[in-house]
Amino acid sequence: MNNVMTAAVLTRFGGPDVLELHRDWPRPKPRPHQVVVKVTAAAVNNTDIWTRQGAYGLPGDPSAQAGWLGSFDFPRIQGGDIAGVVTEVGPDVSRELVGRRVLVDPALYGSEDLNSSPVGYLGSEADGGFAQYVAVDASHAHDVQDSPLSDDQLACLPVAFGTAIGMLERAQVRAGETVLVTGASGGVGLALVQLAAARGARVLAITSGSKGEVVLANGAAQVFNRDSADLPARIAAAAPDGLDAVADIVGGPGVSAMMPLLRDNGRWVIAGAVAGPVIEFDLRRLYLHNVQLIGSSMHTRVHFRRLVELARTGQVTPLVSSIFALDEIAEAQAEFSARRHIGKIVLRPH
Ligand SMILES: NC(=O)c1ccc[n+]([C@@H]2O[C@H](COP(=O)([O-])OP(=O)(O)OC[C@H]3O[C@@H](n4cnc5c(N)ncnc54)[C@H](OP(=O)(O)O)[C@@H]3O)[C@@H](O)[C@H]2O)c1
């Protein structure tokens, strides 16, 4: 068996040039409890770009180059969204898994507790899917053999839909509630729209340009253009009793401008900050109304199992925006950063 593979390897923090394509990178071998997955599709996420740039900052130094946990080990193969086929198994893993189509849970959990949060993820604290093969814990390779979704669609799920499920669960979004979703055309945003609508929530969505039609088609009841001068007033008119929850991946000045749109005891759950991570904020708008501000990072095992069930039964329909070969990773990330896409950008390493 060939011992090498093609991989996009991150060598240091920086621009697209620090991602090196190697055609002779060592192919991973399965350790105990592991399987090796031949990666058929791997989706691109904002976190790949922020990690490449070292854009996570440090407490007290928001502009420091750092990974999401601070320190970061190079070289690293990025890519947390992995669909593929098991090709090899570790010494203690059933050979029946070989040949099985799988969706990989990219989280590295801190304990065996099914509700524990991730303390790392594939592509950051361990090698991920921007390569032809990846070694993962066997319990993280979930069987999706009979899913009606294509491998490209499956690869859209782990990070975006996993994060979206985590946000909706942590904010306890329920049927009949009115929920505002920001950045609604993006990977996490469109997943939030689909999943919140599927729960029976009424979804108000903020998007831009001509993307509104697609966001409506994915389950939003009403869309708002983020460039409208009177955006908060328009949303307030659509939710006269106040919003029950805001599922936010944009952050920036919108947090301060739109927090007053929440009803008393409302929830603001935040998982991203594409419009700016450091903001000024009037705390009185929070405590005087018993609003809960909830930080949300990825998902738990329980959340991911729910997602796998939706994938197996085809109850989610991830939208593939475009597909690139692995050696076009710089182009794929440039397209992602241009933010004209709707849904997810997928790489095919084979
Ligand atoms: N916490 C976690 O576990 C976790 C996991 C995954 C991602 N994230 C974070 O979530 C965020 C979104 O990730 P993603 O993969 O969904 O990215 P994405 O596909 O690029 O979507 C982001 C969307 O935000 C909107 N947007 C972009 N720039 C904006 C601006 N300046 N002001 C307002 N809206 C803007 C755009 O949507 P419209 O054009 O529709 O407005 C864009 O499509 C990122 O910050 C990412 O790091 C966090």
Out of 207, 339, 342, 344, mutate this one to test ligand 1's pocket (max ligand atoms within 8 Å of CB): namely: 339
Select from 161, 184, 134, 142 the least CA-distant residue to 29: 134
**Closest ligand 1 atom to the C-alpha of 160?**
6
pLDDT in tens, 214-224: 999 999 999 99
Residues 6+ apart with CB under 8 A from 291: 259, 262, 264, 265, 266, 267, 268, 285
pLDDT over 70 for what percent of the chain? 100
Q: Tokens representing 313? A: 């039964």
**Closest ligand 1 atom to the C-alpha of 191?**
16
**CA 259, CA 242: separation in Å to the nearest integer?**
10
**CA 132, CA 79: separation in Å to the nearest integer?**
11
Whole-number Å distance, alpha carbon 183 to ligand 1 midpoint, is 5
Distances (CA, A) of 59 to 64, 127, 248, 280: 9, 26, 22, 16
Query: What's the whole-number mean pLDDT along residues 167-184?
Result: 98
**Confidence band, pLDDT 50/70/90 cuts, at residue 300:** very high
**CA 19, CA 6: separation in Å to the nearest integer?**
13
Out of 46, 192, 226, 307, mutate this one to test ligand 1's pocket (max ligand atoms within 8 Å of CB): namely: 46
Ligand 1, atom 19, lies closest to the CA of 186
Residues 6+ apart with CB under 8 A from 94: none
Ligand 1, atom 20, lies closest to the CA of 186
**Confidence band, pLDDT 50/70/90 cuts, at residue 2:** confident
Distances (CA, A) of 143 to 85, 107, 293, 305, 309: 10, 16, 35, 11, 10
- Token pair 């180059």 is at which residue? 65
Instruction: Identify any residues that bridge with 36 across adjacent strands, giving them in sequence order.
Output: 88, 135
pLDDT in tens, 116-161: 999 999 999 999 999 999 999 999 999 999 999 999 999 999 999 9
pLDDT value of residue 50: 94
**CA 347, CA 43: separation in Å to the nearest integer?**
6
Q: Give residue ranges with CB within 6 A of ligand 1.
A: 45-47, 50, 159-160, 163, 183-189, 207-208, 211, 226, 249-250, 252, 271-275, 296-298, 339
Whole-number Å distance, alpha carbon 290 to ligand 1 midpoint, is 27
Half-sphere exposure of 91 (CA within 13 A, CB side): 2
Whether the predicted pLDDT of 255 surpasses 90: yes
DSSP string, 135-146: EEEGGGEEE-TT
pLDDT over 90 for what percent of the chain? 98
Select from 231, 271, 276, 228 the least CA-distant residue to 252: 276
- Token pair 């409208």 is at which residue? 228
Whether the predicted pLDDT of 65 surpasses 70: yes
Please report the domains of the chain, with CATH numbers, ordered by start residue: 4-159+299-348 (3.90.180.10), 172-295 (3.40.50.720)
Contact assessment for residue 6 and residue 132, using Cβ atoms and an 8 Å cutoff: yes
Whether the predicted pLDDT of 1 surpasses 90: no
* 28 DSSP assignment: P
Average pLDDT, the chain: 96
Contact assessment for residue 80 and residue 125, using Cβ atoms and an 8 Å cutoff: no
Look at strands 34-43 and 133-137 and give their pairing: antiparallel
pLDDT value of residue 23: 97
115 dihedral zone (left: phi>0; alpha: psi -120 to 50; beta) = alpha
